[in-house]
Structure 1
């Protein structure tokens, strides 16, 4: 599966990229939502794994844009547990159409479960 990973923290991208590659996926990275949406416009992906809290274009904006422009693309939303509202943010992401959510930090097994949950994703446009 080709995965677009969007997170503004280089260390998080590095760790999650390694997890995704360990799970057998090809990974394209973007450092924020603006770059992520640009990357999505250039090349097809099967899944987007995006952080929620980012500069320029936040993950919720990315999620809404994907639902409008690329409704068949699955989206796993993630947010750091250090944010007081991480749970509410992830709940809101689910309501906006995220196919799975993850609270950081998470394990490779949790990521695999989120991807499996998203694999059956079928949005109605």
Structure 2
């Protein structure tokens, strides 16, 4: 299956995503902040990056923009738990995110969005 890099400062969210995605056969790497996420991707590009928008040390917007500028084929899914404001997700799309997800999410949503993003 695919290699997926999860960039989120919330360990329970990373664990939940890891469980869902490993169950589907994907190989997972994790980063707790944007700086580490970019470092890991540059060392070994992943098939897909899932990044939270609001993370420390280079937020998800910076991560998305850096990846899509440096790697033309980078596939990024941006996530946020910020409620009532679609602006974060709209900006993430402008910065190159292929898909966006509002937290909280279900495993079905994660699987559908990951499958779609990997296929396109």
Shift, 1:44, TM fit = 2.2
Alpha carbon RMSD of aligned pairs, Å? 1.2
Shift, 1:84, TM fit = 4.1
2: distance between equivalents of 1:93 and 1:113?
A: 19
User: What TM-score results when the alignment is normalised by the length of structure 1?
Assistant: 0.89
Q: Deviations over 1:44-86 (max 9, x none)?
A: 21000000001111000000000111120211110014x443x
The aligned residue for residue 107 of structure 2 is 108
State the number of aligned residues.
Answer: 119
* Structure 1 residue ranges without an equivalent (≥5): none
Structure 1 segment 61-76 matched on structure 2, within 5 A? 61-76=62-77
Structure 1 segment 48-63 matched on structure 2, within 5 A? 48-63=49-64
2: distance between equivalents of 1:19 and 1:120?
A: 18
Shift, 1:25, TM fit = 0.7
Shift, 1:116, TM fit = 2.2
